[in-house]
Structure 1
Amino acid sequence: MCGRFSLTHSSDALENVFSVAGVENFPPRYNIAPTQPIMTISAGLPRMAGSNLPEQDALLMRWGLLPSWVKDPSDFPLLINARSETAATKASFRNAMRHRRILIPASGFYEWQRDKETGQSQAYWVRPKNGELIGFAGLAETYMNKDGAEIDTAAFLTAPSNKQFQAIHHRMPIAIAETDFKRWLDCRTQEPRHIADLLRAPDEDFFEAIAVSDLVNKVSNTSPENQKQVTPKDFTQRKKPKPIDDSQGSLF
């Protein structure tokens, strides 16, 4: 899944990779969390031949998708991820999967490996080995509240993890190759069945997972220190049970 991610690449890189404009001076963000505004990329309106306008549009959205039919957001779960296997049929994502597919630019994401016996967790910073920008597959919905105000909301699409990543978590976000950006964003001619081949985990050699400290656990920690490599925790070192004090004997 994806519960935190990071976008630290330059504005120039964003404009070049995603063919957008208007993202000058976009600050690096090292610990992006649910409900915060995130950058998204959507297909632009049809351009005339010879137009100098960028091919895609960049827009800030709230991370946490709200379907248009929700009456009370306070009674609705926070949808930060959508399972790619059921997104085309599930009520919460069906319309977005057909009409509002987006890309979510990222430099990488964070995931936690959890040990059930000890309750401990180890955070990992997961990034492309080549250091390039990622376009994660996402879905968007515009929600209108009771006062008539609109808010654009978004969620990541996830898939079962590849073999390399399964030791950390059983699911991971879907990265769309740059050569497939247009096809993914084309909701006019490309129905969900046409882009189903894109809904899979990246190849095993695409990402590298770097153990990081627990700093990233707190949303308030937003510095580059979140991505500083550490030695992974050793879950095999179990805490020894305290010895029983039987100096006073027992009634049983």
Structure 2
Amino acid sequence: MTVFWRKYNELCDEHGLKPRALATELGISAATVTKWVNDGMPNLDMITRIAEYFDVPIDYLINEDDTPIIPQANKKRSVFKSVSSLSQRWVSLRRGSEISLETQLKIIPYVNCTVQFLNNDKYIEYVPDTAHDTEHLKDAETIFDILGILDHCADTESYRIVQVQLSRIVLYHLKEKGFDREALRTEHLDQEKMEYLYTGKDSGKTHNYGLNFSDMDFLREFTGLSYQVMFTGIE
């Protein structure tokens, strides 16, 4: 039994809930729960939903530590803090000034783009490179890598460009799912930055950046789409 499955069951018991029934309520399929029973692990989006439901940090659900839970006063911040603690790769990405070729070669097949697109912000329109190889979606850690890149303060031009291009991939998939430019005209998103991402029109240095983690967290809640869907278009 995985630590996650044990703790998920314990939390359900404490709240008088049936694990499978709660999973269904959270939009998680019965087949996925069966995988958890057989030592499978939830992806980032699923574990975020569960953590938010029970008001606990994500890392509580996957670490052996059974420290008593302190209710989270700010769920978005606590989820982000938990996500950032899950992977040393995330920490190194946030601190680094360049994105390694190794990381890029991992991200490119995941989001289905070319090296040229990812490193040139003159490519405004994202076009999927090939038929998507879903085998790459099994590596859930890539989501952490991408979120880490988007959260990083871009202190080099090359880093900024990768952030921008990853954001354009997200906007492409949002449009494919019915959330076009007009649907995203909300005060929760910097509209000058959005204009730059959609058109390439220079809005000033403070706006010529990609989506950050707060933007992604808002979009996940606003659209109901998982991070995986926003990065790949695939459920």
Determine which structure has greater relative contact order: mean sequence separation of CA pairs < 8 Å that are 6+ residues apart, divided by chain length.
1
Q: Which is helix-richer, 1 or 2?
A: 2
Q: Same fold (TM over 0.5)?
A: no
TM-score, normalized by length of structure 2?
Answer: 0.28
